[in-house]
Structure 1
């Protein structure tokens, strides 16, 4: 009876030491910001967006200059205007400043919407490229280097350059369609 218990315990201990084989974990690191800045579609979108942003900047500068000119005129006229006329000019100036500030906020929101609209097709294509690249190269996962919690990565795991090449190729094929 003791032998049976001892053999059973040995068999259990030996069996516990054998673990099932686990698949190899392969993690790739990509810098999405670099991909967007250095890829053909990213550069194209940045150039288009920069053109629109420059137009908005010119308009904002023009309106700001008009406000400064108006302020200068108010200061020059302040000595010759009556108190009521001064108050009217100040109210008009304050209204124009508020209008300018509102315009700045609206244009910032519009630029953000435009940036999102221009970036959406690239981000969709990039998602597909990353998925295909990961499957083709047998990655368990591909993580953006800027992801919170990523403290250290070995540069040997960086696939950013390969992803840029794949994105450029996919983008050219997408444009042909």
Structure 2
């Protein structure tokens, strides 16, 4: 719908937006949706939120390197509120999945970092507690995955990993 709107085609833009809205509302109102459908709707809601507040949450970069919590751009309060509403809708959908779900855990982790990036430390702290309870680990180290060689990442562990192989060895 965004491309149609940018090219001045409001009719097609509204048509596409209605289809997206219907799919989102359908997923929110029907609890029998498959995890893949929930994952798709969560991605759409997060993309819509990014349109209001374009804060990129990295999967791998440490806060010291990313400058987390040191917002370089300010956003209108209205945009932050709209983005937060969309992200909370995405979290509500992700919370339908079991506690071991990577999507659910990562949605809460990304929300912690999003709040931190916007300087909302109380909200970040509350969201972090939810994440810690989901994962069963109460340590900030779980906010970033550990590298496990050959480009693979290990999430939700605090203890150091020991690799017993080398890349390219089968």
TM-score (norm 2): 0.25
The structure carrying a bigger helix percent of its residues is: 1
Bigger Rg, which one: 1
TM-score (norm 1): 0.24
